[in-house]
Amino acid sequence: MKSTYSGKVREVYDAGDGKLIMLTTDRVSAFDVVMPTPIPKKGIILNKLSEFWFDFTRDIAKNHLISTQVSDYPAEFQKLEFQDRSMMVKKLDMVMVECIVSGYLTGSCYKSYRKTGGFCGIKLPEGMVESQKLPEPIFCASTKAEIGEHDVYITFDEAKQIIGADIMEKLKNISLSVYKKCAEYALSRGIIIADTKFEFGIDSDGDLVLADEVLTSDSSRFWPVDDYTIGVSQKSFDKQYLRDWLTEQGKAGAAPPPELPQEVCDKTAQKYINAYKAIVGEDIH
């Protein structure tokens, strides 16, 4: 069995009949570099969290999920290695931009704001500080990067030129609607979703379909409500701890990347677990 696509975190297999099997590994990337040390149970957490959000948002957007039950897979995939960390999905014609929604001034949005007063061509109010909530969530797009390369943020008009105005308007509306519903729910569970990234594809009916992963600790910034303070960088439930450790070691983006100490692996894993428990309301076994 050989995967048809190997990403930073996922292995994708062709299951025939217009279906794919997506296996979520315990690999972790930071600064677009895959670390040599896996994070225990990370793949299970990401897979189950995406499954939760796909179900939660199905009233807003079609999604590619068919099943996460290994017993539903073709016989060659009914193996222990696929249990709890994979999903069978529809094969789609993927849209060649990623959809970014920012609800708070952080990350690339904050860096851009300090230089230009806005983000992706969107003007933001003057006098804002790091981590401050935006007046309204904003939508922008980025080009999809190859492994080891950085995503490039583009304006809405630039994205229209790549894939067309009509489809970009639909992507914007769906992305903002999904984000707003999920952010409101997460807030009730003690988590701020500061920003997130969505990917979409087009199915055989010509419909836009939410795909890949949804609102995981890899694709989003999760902050604890109890510790939220504007004007500073926030504590987080995502891999920011790992990024910070790499930066402190002078290894941010280094190739080859360093082996991760057990303490760093354990603390990173716990952040993923805490996010899952808060959002879904159950533990990972």
pLDDT tens by residue, 150-190: 578 999 999 999 999 999 999 999 999 999 999 999 999 99
Residues 108, 113: Cα–Cα separation, whole Å: 8
CB of 17 closer than 8 Å to CB of 29? no
Nearest to 14 by CA among 29, 3, 25, 26: 3
pLDDT tens by residue, 108-158: 999 999 999 999 999 999 999 999 999 999 999 998 755 445 578 999 999
Nearest to 85 by CA among 54, 49, 56, 55: 49
Omega of the bond prior to 256 within 30 degrees of 0, cis?
yes
**Phi, psi (deg, nearest 5) at residue 6:** -120, 115
CB of 162 closer than 8 Å to CB of 53? no
pLDDT tens by residue, 203-236: 999 999 999 999 999 999 999 999 999 999 998 9
What pLDDT is stored for residue 72 in this prediction? 98
Beta bridge partners of 5: 12
- Written as six digits, the tokens of 106 are 């952080």
For residue 154, give the H/E element and its range: strand 152-154
Mean pLDDT of 2-21: 91
pLDDT band at 264 (very low <50, low <70, confident <90, very high): very high
Question: Vertex 185, ends 182 and 186: CA angle to 5°?
Answer: 85
Q: What's the maximum distance between 2 C-alpha atoms anywhere in the chain?
A: 59
Question: How is domain 94-227 classified at the CATH fold level?
Answer: D-amino Acid Aminotransferase; Chain A, domain 1 (3.30.470)
Q: What are the sequence ranges of the domains in the chain?
A: 94-227
- Written as six digits, the tokens of 172 are 């914007």
Tokens 């055989």 belong to residue: 204
CB of 179 closer than 8 Å to CB of 100? no
Nearest to 242 by CA among 9, 48, 37, 104: 37
Beta-carbon-side half-sphere exposure of residue 100 (alpha carbons within 13 Å): 26
More confident residue, 77 or 144: 77
Through-space distance between the first and last CA atoms of the chain, rounded to whole angstroms: 28
CB of 236 closer than 8 Å to CB of 127? no
pLDDT band at 3 (very low <50, low <70, confident <90, very high): confident
Tokens 């939660």 belong to residue: 56
- Written as six digits, the tokens of 21 are 């099997």
Using a 10 angstrom Cβ sphere, with 0-12 exposed, 13-18 middle and 19 or more buried, the burial of residue 281 is exposed
